[in-house]
Chain A
């Protein structure tokens, strides 16, 4: 069972307190009406599904209830870091540093 650090609670807690919520850094278009069908399809359904570093959303559902973002390796399952929703995507250097 993974340990996950909630950036809102500033505490590491077991995975059972959390729920996964899909890929991170996909924001809802401000005005969906101006999007083509193709663009809307890409927004709705197309995800990066990488082997390796993945930016994803989690929710501390049995804790503070807040959503946050995480960087996790899809091969080892291990988290590199977590950060509050709304913050920018961490750089490669920041992720490297967090892993070391």
Chain B
């Protein structure tokens, strides 16, 4: 094993080696390692290339805030994930990882040339660089941007894993299981309240996992932690979720928790979901998110081997890994001194501590000197050297007046930095909770909450261990109390705590030209201090604008390590106080979250239901090709051997018009309207007159919006004085019922009417063709089907094939037609019986396409195809459907607005192409003069267009400005390759006298 692993240190299992690969090379780690700690244990710091400049990058942090160490993980086909943070990826035997953003190899990368063209990529480079010449766009810039855009490689095949989701309720949800969160969960748990404790890490403890030296209530920290974890595990009212990230905090204490179930396992358990999204509604929330260490901003602060001091401490104390053999520390905060001393105690040669501050607490200085560390207070760091790993650091004294003195170089293989700590206020900020700027401490702290929530510990600016425990306990007890339980915060005693303070700084002072410094603020998006100052010089004042112009804080890490440094520099550059420059908005999710977790079970066939009729199975067995119509799938056409769609549809139409066609119309929306005021209600809703419609009769109904435009249509049957069977379009069924309910409940609550959706209750079989009556006459009981007794537009109740039916005589093809409504459970049996009996008439099943063709031959419109929400009844040629004598109906008032009466409104007309073989494209534009200059004036468009087998030519419907007055005129339809001539006609192409349907 390597020289970087420290025996008998850390929480990893030193006795259990695990093997993994990184860029094809095999490494050994320990059970409990993250990929980052395992690589560092092997002396590997170089783990990736940066996004823009392809600079070599190392591991910056030890947590989920990591901006640099992003790797691709592959677990076989479909199971590859880009941009996984090495600092949270747990190693297991056989783990397979690769680095990103490099070609051909991590150590020799061609893209590094970007680094040399530094000036080209400064702030706003997208906006400036790719401006001109215009001709460069297609061939140079776009391929470049596409090549450079995005981090990592996305998988190319569907994800074979499953993702679960679950709803949960609790009294107190505690986010974070560091000292504050643990104390909160313990107190709240003891009250008997239902608790959920959630932590993104593999085990509870948070910052305690990096601090074994402290003592809590007379126990060593880790022993206290074990006791606490045992108590929580034993409490039936407490649910502990580790490896679970609280990704978002939404309205009214609703939080999303993403639990990673299998990613850390060597073998995937059969049937286990990879992740589970918890949607939790909590009465009270305690946020104990902790804090994130700030990097310092100086030239070369991104070189591999430069990392956060607190993270180095975590790697040592938690994972038993020395991050180097020869370290230098640069800091503005006491906490890095503790890291330096921990490392020195573990045998790392700590050459020097560079503290930006002129004065540092004596006890720290004494402690450092006692460990043989050189102390340089009031100094600065002005550069680093080394190609793929830091090899030395350049340091200079700074006078009280700010003058930077002569440089000196100190050799090192690791440079640890600390610019202080930023409270994690992300979740609090999701709730629009106010953040207050603390000028003295230079940090944003949670202010007045908008939800039932409290913040505790470092996330609330309370950094000391004792204070965090106490505040956590108080928060947990008061949350439980507010949730209706009895709780009291217990007390804590601490041994061995060293209080830490520090200051915040902008870029470190330098003796060099700062405009050539590569002092990074945002490591993941390669944004430097100079970029931010340049943006301000170019006029950007608000942090929201500076952010977007420089892209700082916009990468997958959402600026966890960079936002506050960026803000401090921006605020200095615009010479305004930090809160006046503003903080950018934190948005969910807190860390990158898989689409799978969000989708949960709702994927594939569960993403959107497919509604099927009772007859769907027969259609499938008989070779139907289906098409989706709203949520339904409908039989589109029934091809016979070797037929294409065109041949099949032509045959289906011909058979129906010659003898008999059978069609599944079950998807039609159906609403039963019942009550003494049913006729009055329909009168008010639909344009037509209904009061005089006799029971047993049908009428075409037209429904408008209050704006006067057509919304829906359908045939309505009156079964008795107080009962109507209303049909709607397939797609409009739910919308129409909702509209009716709205009027009935809120405008006319005095009407005695009841509405029931009956779409799924009835299977509807449409029989059309000259032999339709002959077929059903012997099968129907209780209804006289003669033309005199049961003419076109009649309805009657009786039996068919022994099953109760509501029989409609109605036609959407222009042929003699019946729509046979039977209870859905009999739909298929009746269909099959009719089909068998119909063989003598060569009965032919037809699909929606043939239905469309035949209705267009008759000029029957389809709402939503021939209308588009801007057509009035008159525009659509349906002026006859308006009850002129009615004083009012929905939409009537709008029909007399001046705009609605204009002569040049677009009107629905027929079109016949000059060349009968040309079938126009639906949606094609129509112009009056094809020789006018481009752009031409469009006077309308084609709405429906088909080959009509019955007419032996093409037909089309179109909306054209003042179309009816232009009947007989020629218009022009430009289509790819040719502009076609067509004549405007009436809308009825076939059997205009309706002889066939009245037969």
Contacts and interface: CB of A to CB of B under 8 A. Distances in A.
Given A85-B745, A86-B749, A33 B893 contact: yes
A77 B251 contact: yes
B747 interface: yes
A94 B444 CA distance: 36
A76 B742 contact: no
Of the candidates B252, B706, B742, the one having the most CB atoms from chain A within 10 angstroms of its own CB is B252
Contacts of A2: 251-252
B302 to A, nearest CB: 41
Contact of B252 (A1, A31, A40): A1
Contact of B892 (A14, A32, A78): A32
Contacts of B707: 44
Given A76-B432, A76-B450, A67 B746 contact: yes
Contact of B745 (A27, A35, A67, A76): A67
A40 B745 contact: no
A28 interface: yes
Contact of B893 (A35, A57, A76): A35
Interface in A1-33: 1-3, 14-15, 21, 27-28, 31-33
A66 interface: yes
B513 interface: no
A90 interface: no
A27 B747 contact: yes
Contacts of B887: 31, 33
B894 interface: yes
B251 A1 contact: yes
Contacts of A61: 738
A33 B888 contact: yes
A66 B892 CA distance: 26
A85 B742 CA distance: 11
A27 B747 CA distance: 7
A33 B741 CA distance: 23
A65 B741 contact: yes
A1 B749 contact: no
A58 to B, nearest CB: 12
Nearest to A26: B746
A82 to B, nearest CB: 14
Interface string A60-87: 0100011100000000111000000110
Contacts, number: 54
Classify the interface of chain B: helix, strand, loop or mixed.
mixed
A66 B251 CA distance: 24
A37 B898 CA distance: 8
A37 B896 CA distance: 9
A1 B281 CA distance: 9
Interface string A35-56: 1010010001000000000000
A44 B747 contact: no
Interface string B861-891: 0000000000000000000000000011000
A44 B251 contact: no
Give the interface size class of chain B. Answer: 20 to 34
B250 interface: yes
A61 B279 CA distance: 22
Contacts of B746: 57, 67, 85-86
Interface in B723-761: 738, 741-742, 745-747, 749
Contacts of A59: 738, 741-742
B254 interface: yes
Of the candidates B251, B706, B898, the one having the most CB atoms from chain A within 10 angstroms of its own CB is B251
Contacts of B254: 1
Interface in B743-786: 745-747, 749
Contacts of A14: 281
A68 to B, nearest CB: 9
Contacts of A1: 250-252, 254, 279
A67 B742 contact: yes
A14 B892 CA distance: 38
A31 B279 CA distance: 49
B108 interface: no
B897 interface: yes
B251 A28 contact: no
Given A2-B252, A76-B450, A77-B251, A40 B893 contact: yes
B380 to A, nearest CB: 46
Nearest to B451: A78
Interface in B405-441: 432
Contact of B706 (A44, A67, A85): A44
Nearest to A79: B252
A61 B738 CA distance: 9
Contacts of B251: 1-3, 15, 77-78
A8 to B, nearest CB: 10
Contacts of B741: 59, 65, 67
Nearest to B450: A76
Nearest to A45: B707
Given A21-B742, A32-B888, A76-B450, A3 B252 contact: yes
Given A21-B742, A67-B742, A77-B251, A28 B747 contact: yes
A59 B281 CA distance: 22
Of the candidates A44, A57, A66, the one having the most CB atoms from chain B within 10 angstroms of its own CB is A44
Contacts of A33: 887-888, 892-893
Contacts of B888: 31-33
Nearest to B250: A1
B283 to A, nearest CB: 11
Interface in B233-272: 250-252, 254
Given A1-B250, A33-B887, A66 B898 contact: no
Contact of A40 (B250, B279, B747, B897): B897
A78 to B, nearest CB: 8
B250 A44 contact: no
Contacts of B250: 1
Nearest to A22: B742
A77 B898 CA distance: 39
A28 B432 CA distance: 38
Contacts of A28: 706, 747
Given A67-B746, A85-B745, 16 more contacts: A1-B251, A1-B254, A1-B279, A2-B252, A3-B251, A3-B252, A28-B706, A31-B887, A32-B888, A35-B893, A37-B898, A40-B893, A59-B741, A61-B738, A67-B745, A86-B749
Interface of A: 1-3, 14-15, 21, 27-28, 31-33, 35, 37, 40, 44, 57, 59, 61, 65-67, 76-78, 85-86
Q: Which 4 A-B pairs have the closest CB atoms?
A: A32-B893, A3-B252, A1-B254, A67-B745
23 contacts: A1-B251, A3-B252, A3-B281, A15-B251, A28-B706, A28-B747, A31-B887, A32-B888, A32-B892, A33-B888, A33-B892, A33-B893, A35-B893, A37-B898, A40-B894, A44-B707, A57-B746, A59-B738, A59-B742, A61-B738, A65-B741, A67-B741, A85-B746
